[in-house]
Structure 1
Amino acid sequence: MRKIIIASHHKMATGIKDTLNYITGERNNVSALSAYLTNTPIQEEIDALLKGVDQEDEVVVFTDLLGGSVNQSFAKYTARPHFHVIIGINLPIVLTIALKPDDTYLTAEQIRSSLDEAKEQLIYVNDFITNRPEDEDDE
């Protein structure tokens, strides 16, 4: 079983999860952690999300800031087998991982490849439009 956690400061995680569900339909294996909206310590929120997750379960966590408290709180779990933490949330990377078949564990190479694909979606549109061939049709 693969569990996906989208975790951020404030409400970014909830928004991405909501958009993911809009595009793909409700996904029971995706959770959002919008940290610091309540007085609940982040570790308690993480413990609640990981309750019932076994060692053989796969967990993919997306966090918002490298070195941020949300990321640091999840990074300590990377020693567990099949526990992946990815920094830099954007919809393309979450979609790519969420839509991968979950009948086998993700490999590090699959995750790296997915990250490369998501990075290609970061485009300065002004340059993209300027450099586009004249005869290319608009969609």
Structure 2
Amino acid sequence: MTKIILASHHTMASGLKDTLNYIFPSDLEIADISAYLNNTPIEEELAAVIDPVDPADEILIFTDMPGGSVCQACAPYILKRPNTHLFAGMNLPLVLTLALQAQSGALDEAGIETAIAEARSQIVYVNASFSASDDDEEDE
């Protein structure tokens, strides 16, 4: 079984989970941790979600930004648990793609790298696209 954990500063994780459940209702176990909204240390919130998971099960942890305190709190789990994958800079295309791979049982390193590349390609400065199309129209 695969468990997905979305962890962020404030409520980004819960919002992404809500959106993910709307687009992709699945049987995957998805947890969200919205850090620093109460007085519970992030390490305790993570332990409450991760410790009950069977060590043989796969865990995908998505955090909001690399180098941030949430990602740093998650990092020790990739050393403690062999089937744990940590991703920083989560966005909907990345989480959705990897959730689909996990649900189909096709999650592997090549698929993960492809999903990351595809998620990066979804970040687009739309203004530049409009400028390019305006330039093309002027050339005609």
Describe the superposition over 1:60-118 as per-residue Cα deviations: whole angstroms up to 9, x where unpaired.
Answer: 00001211111011111112211000000111101111111436462222111100000
- Does 1:6 find its partner at 2:23? no
Following TM superposition, by how much is the alpha carbon of 1:26 offset from its aligned partner in structure 2, in angstroms?
5.7
Where do 4+ consecutive residues of structure 1 move more than 6 Å? none
Q: Gaps spanning 5+ residues in structure 2: where?
A: none
Q: What is the RMSD computed on CA atoms of the aligned residues?
A: 1.7
Which one-letter code corresponds to 1:115 in the other structure?
A: I
What is the identity percentage for the equivalent residue pairs of Structure 1 and Structure 2? 48
Local SS of the residue matching 2:103: coil
Q: Gaps spanning 5+ residues in structure 1: where?
A: 135-139
Aligned residue in 2 for 1:137? none
Larger Rg: 2
Aligned residue in 2 for 1:38? 38
Aligned residue in 1 for 2:19? 19
Q: Which has the higher helix share?
A: 2
Kept in 2: contact 1:9–1:35 (CA 8 A):
yes
What is the correspondence of 1:1-139 to structure 2 with a 5 Å cutoff? 1-25=1-25, 27-79=27-79, 80-102=81-103, 104=105, 106-132=107-133
For this pair of structures, how many residues does the alignment match? 134
Q: Distance in 2 between matches of 1:44 and 1:105?
A: 31
Kept in 2: contact 1:21–1:27 (CA 8 A):
no
Kept in 2: contact 1:7–1:32 (CA 8 A):
yes
1:111–1:119 Cα change, 3 Å: same
Q: Distance in 2 between matches of 1:96 and 1:104?
A: 12
Following TM superposition, by how much is the alpha carbon of 1:129 offset from its aligned partner in structure 2, in angstroms?
2.6
Deviates more, 1:31-40 or 1:46-55: 46-55
